[in-house]
């Protein structure tokens, strides 16, 4: 069976499931439990960042990698231009653009706006396993990036 043989509804459902994975990935990093990102990957899933020479393979390694992000990190990622291409009934690829805002040392409250720390794109490979779409491979490309800012420690209450 070729991708062109897929029923339009099945193609649409596959595309939507993969889009949702892309969004859930950043939601878990920003607002959820970062280590749970590993559950969005196949058991042998891989996350790579060629420019940073990073490669993390397997769910346990992914859980450890994402779970060790600093507890005082505040981040918000914007995902856009998500293009999913279904290549088979159980396989798909996607490209999506990302913009990341991030600081370490966050102690609460609202911060003045900052420039993004990263702007780039993901290239994803998805596999359908057990009825669920999962990331088999995610490669991160960051043509724009900088170090994560560390905020100064909070000062005492000025009224004291």
How would residue 159 be classed by pLDDT, with cut points 50, 70 and 90? Answer: low
DSSP for 106-147 reads --SS-------SEEEEEEEEEEEETTEEEEEEEEEEEEEE-P
Query: Which of these, 73, 124, 66, lies nearest to 102 by C-alpha position?
Result: 73
Per-residue pLDDT of 112-157, as tens digits, reads 999 999 999 999 999 999 999 999 999 999 999 999 999 999 886 5
Q: Give the pLDDT of residue 154.
A: 83
Q: In this model, does residue 11 exceed pLDDT 80?
A: yes
Per-residue pLDDT of 24-74, as tens digits, reads 999 999 998 999 999 999 999 999 998 878 999 999 999 999 999 999 999
**Two tokens at 17?**
């499931």
Q: Give the pLDDT of residue 160.
A: 47
pTM: 0.91
Query: Which of these, 37, 27, 93, 91, lies nearest to 62 by C-alpha position?
Result: 37
Q: Is 52 exposed, middle or buried (0-12, 13-18, 19+ CB in 10 A)?
A: exposed
Share of the chain above pLDDT 90, in %: 89
Q: Give the pLDDT of residue 158.
A: 56
Strands 149-150 and 91-104: parallel
SS3 52: helix
Q: In this model, does residue 3 exceed pLDDT 80?
A: no
Number of neighbouring beta carbons within 10 Å of residue 94: 22
* Residue position matching structure tokens 């892309």: 22
Q: In this model, does residue 9 exceed pLDDT 70?
A: yes
Number of neighbouring beta carbons within 10 Å of residue 66: 19
Can you tell me the mean pLDDT for 82-92? 97
Do the Cβ atoms of 124 and 22 come closer than 8 Å?
Answer: yes
């Amino acid at each position: 069976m070729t991708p062109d043989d897929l029923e339009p509804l099945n193609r649409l459902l596959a595309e939507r499931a993969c889009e949702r994975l892309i969004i859930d990935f950043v939601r878990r990093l920003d607002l959820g439990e970062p280590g749970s990102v590993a559950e969005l990957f196949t058991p042998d899933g891989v996350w790579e960042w060629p420019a940073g020479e990073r490669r993390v393979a397997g769910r346990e390694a992914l859980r450890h990698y994402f779970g060790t992000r600093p507890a005082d990190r505040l981040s918000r990622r914007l995902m856009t231009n998500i293009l999913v291409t279904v290549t088979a009934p159980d396989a798909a690829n996607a490209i999506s653009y990302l913009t990341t805002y991030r600081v370490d040392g966050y102690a609460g409250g609202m911060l003045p706006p900052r420039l993004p720390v990263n702007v780039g794109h993901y290239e994803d490979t998805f596999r359908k396993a057990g009825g669920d779409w999962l990331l088999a491979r995610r490669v991160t490309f960051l043509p724009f990036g900088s170090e994560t800012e560390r905020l100064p420690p909070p000062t005492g209450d000025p009224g004291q």
